[in-house]
Amino acid sequence: MELLTEEKLVVLEENADKIRSLIIEMLLEAGSGHSAGPLGMADIFSAFYFHILNHDPKNPDWADRDRLILSNGHICPVRYGAMALSGYFPIEELQTLRKINSRLQGHPHRTALPGVENTSGPLGEGLSQAIGVSLAAKLDGRKYHVYAVTSDGEHEEGNTWEAIMFAGKLKINNLTVVIDRNNIQIDGNTEDIMPLEPLSKKYEAFNWHVIEIDGNNIRMFIDSINEALAITEKPTVIIANTIPGKGVSFMEKDFHWHGTAPDKEQAKKALEELRTLRGKIEHEGQ
Residues β-bridged to residue 181: 241
| Per-residue pLDDT tens over the stretch 212-227 | 999 999 999 999 999 9
Whether residue 168 has pLDDT greater than 90: yes
For residue 260, pLDDT over 70 is answered with yes
CATH number for the domain that contains residue 159 = 3.40.50.970
pLDDT digits (tens, 9 = 90+) for 90-102: 999 999 999 999 9
Average pLDDT over every residue of 173-193: 97
Residue pair 107/120 in contact (Cβ under 8 Å)? The answer is yes
pLDDT of 171 > 70? The answer is: yes
pLDDT at residue 277, rounded to an integer: 79
List the domain range (segments joined by +) for residue 105.
6-285
**Residue 166: how many other CB atoms lie within 10 Å:** 16
Averaged pLDDT for residues 134-143? 97
Look at strands 67-70 and 146-151 and give their pairing.
parallel
Nearest to 81 by CA among 70, 90, 71, 72: 90
Tell whether 154 is covered by a domain: yes
pTM: 0.96
CA dist 168 and 233 (Å) reads 10
So what's the pLDDT on residue 286?
A: 58
What is the mean predicted confidence (pLDDT) over 22-28? 98
Average pLDDT over residues 61-71: 97
**Range list of β-strands (E), the chain:** 67-70, 146-151, 175-181, 184-185, 188-189, 209-214, 236-241
Neighbouring C-alpha atoms within 13 Å toward the C-beta of 237: 29
**Residue 219 confidence (pLDDT):** 98
H helices, E strands: number in the chain: 10, 7
Cα Rg, the chain, nearest whole Å: 18
Least confident stretch, 21-35, 108-122, 239-253: 108-122
In whole angstroms, give the CA distance from residue 189 to residue 143: 39
- Average pLDDT in the chain: 96
Instruction: Using pLDDT thresholds of 50, 70 and 90, give the confidence band for residue 285.
Output: low
Residue 158: strand, helix, or coil: helix
Residue 283 has pLDDT above 90, yes or no: no
Instruction: Give me the number of domains the chain comprises.
Output: 1
pLDDT > 90? residue 279 = no
pLDDT at 249 over 80: yes
1 in any annotated domain: no
Q: Residue 282 — pLDDT band, cuts 50, 70, 90?
A: low
The CA–CA distances, whole Å, from 286 to 51, 78, 217, 219 equal 21, 27, 19, 18
Whether residue 20 lies inside any domain: the answer is yes
Q: Which residues have C-beta within 8 Å of that of residue 199, sequence separation ≥ 6?
A: 152, 155, 179, 181, 239
pLDDT tens profile 98-130: 999 999 999 999 999 999 999 998 899 999 999
